[in-house]
Amino acid sequence: MDTTTFDAYLLQHRERLFEDYKDFLRQPSVAATGQGIVEMAALVARRFATLGASVQIIPTEGNAPPVVWAEIGEGDKTLLIYNHYDVQPAEPFNLWLSPPFEPTVRDGILFARGASDDKGELVTRIHAVEAWLATQGKLPFKIKWLVEGEEEIGSPHLHKWVEQHQDWLKADGCLWEFGGFDENGRFTLTMGVKGICYVQLRVKSVDHDLHSSLAPLAPNAAWRLIWALSTLKDAQENILIDGYKDYVREPSEAQMELLRRLPSEEDAIKQSWKIDSFLQGRTGLDALKQLYFTPTATLCGLTSGWQGLGTKTVLPAEATAKVDFRLVPDLTPDIVADLLRKHLDKHGFTDVEIVSYNGYRAEFCDVEAGIVKAAARAAHRIYNQEPVLVPNSPGSGPMWSLSSFIGGVPVVCAGISHADNRVHSPNENVPLQNYYDGMRYIGVLIEEFAAA
């Protein structure tokens, strides 16, 4: 690879490429509401077409957000790239320092919804491939690109799409949609994700909200839900769902060894979160094992009764709670939903309805895979540092569908994010230097993967 001409191309076209980045960010694409989804899929497809790729916009079941599929290059080796074009809702708008869909640069940092997750990662890779084709010629292998539009709501239709197109997805490695730098600015490579089961619990107690003076006679939906929730977890953070831990696979010795090698970020994280200690005083290897290899049960939100200004003396007729369970092998979404139903019934809460939203299975990939080693060598060349190998992400995504399910394609997560990127929050951001270096990194990764 002639890095001089590659870097010169990126510099020469920097302004145009950055405007391209901002065009992606200006287009809302909120999976939760459907806002701008069709338009964003078309924009992604048009951009792939400018590379000379073969592009298809493929519908998913039930008129859900389509998959954008692109293929470019040729050769005996294939790299699968996974990205998503949807973003999280931008609310609450009042907490943004600039409008979420008007990309704004302040002090060398780009602010917009999707700046990092995941439009920033997507355009970085598109721009790197453009620069390669313009300066190096043909790609040294085939790239298959899968860009979906429902990741932020749990990819409910992606697995069925994968089932229908398994023969398309054969690859020697997969570059995943996220990655970047840790609290201390060290480049990280991650080889897995936790799974997730997301549910809503709902209680209906009486026909309509009542005057609170009737509390001696009328069942209160809010209290009923609180009592049900209290059976799921105790004050010592123990998950009490019957049978929950029976399906938990312990991390391997190789995975534990990676945890032992991880540099400590405890002080930086506590300072960022403005806390003095982690839950239960966890620290060191115990804290890392809890974060990466232990399942969770998290109360994400509660809604019931009156929550407006001032007072309103009502007895709520309905109460809901949203709960997510982060999963490890062999705890699957279906198993959790079944255990949760049986647990609530056993404890007398047959009236608590469970509405399932989405789920992913956990996936851990091989740290010795060729794509991982290529990504590490590229990090040495661009960032002049030994990358931090993280065995697993505490977050979730449809990695199992694109790895174990289709024959064990090894996956690595490498991107442009940083510790304070505010993804899923107001003021999402990415340093522009990460974007510029990220394009150079992908160029070198192409060369290294070809040689792997």
Q: Which long-range contacts (CB under 8 A, 24 or more apart) does 225-230 make?
A: 225/201, 225/302, 225/304, 225/319, 225/320, 225/321, 225/352, 226/319, 227/349, 228/201, 228/203, 228/344, 228/347, 228/349, 228/352, 229/201, 229/299, 229/321, 229/323
- Note the pLDDT tens digit of each residue in 308-359: 999 999 999 999 999 999 999 999 999 999 999 999 999 999 999 999 887 9
Q: Which residue has the tokens 């991880």?
A: 262
Confidence label for 38 from pLDDT (cuts 50, 70 and 90): very high
- Note the pLDDT tens digit of each residue in 273-300: 999 999 999 999 999 999 999 999 999 9
Is 80 exceeded by the pLDDT of residue 441? yes
CATH number of 3-191+365-451: 3.40.630.10
End-to-end CA distance of the chain: 15
Confidence label for 270 from pLDDT (cuts 50, 70 and 90): very high
Question: In the predicted model, what is the mean pLDDT of the chain?
Answer: 96
Which of 14, 65, 60 shows the shortest CA–CA distance to 44?
65
- Sequence-ordered strand ranges (E) for 305-348: 314-315, 318-327
Which of 438, 439, 432, 441 shows the shortest CA–CA distance to 25?
432
**How many residues are present in the chain?**
452
Is 90 exceeded by the pLDDT of residue 426? yes
- Note the pLDDT tens digit of each residue in 164-209: 999 999 999 999 999 999 988 999 999 999 999 999 999 999 999 9
Q: What is the mean pLDDT of residues 20-38?
A: 97
Distances (CA, A) of 271 to 188, 275, 308, 419: 21, 7, 33, 12
Give the residue ranges of DSSP H helices in 200-302: 221-230, 253-261, 266-273, 284-293
* Domain boundary assignment for the chain: 3-191+365-451, 195-360
**CA–CA gap between residue 281 and residue 342 (Å, rounded):** 32
Six token digits for residue 444: 């070198």
Six token digits for residue 103: 């990309």
pLDDT at 265: 87
Phi, psi dihedrals of residue 69, rounded to the nearest 5°? -115, 130
pTM score = 0.91
pLDDT at 292: 94
Phi, psi dihedrals of residue 127, rounded to the nearest 5°? -65, -35
Handedness of CA 428, 434, 436, 439 (dihedral sign): negative
Architecture per CATH, domain 195-360, reads as 2-Layer Sandwich (3.30)
**CA–CA gap between residue 324 and residue 359 (Å, rounded):** 9
- Note the pLDDT tens digit of each residue in 232-251: 999 999 999 999 999 999 99
Confidence label for 375 from pLDDT (cuts 50, 70 and 90): very high
**CA–CA gap between residue 339 and residue 345 (Å, rounded):** 10
Q: What is the mean pLDDT of residues 428-435?
A: 98
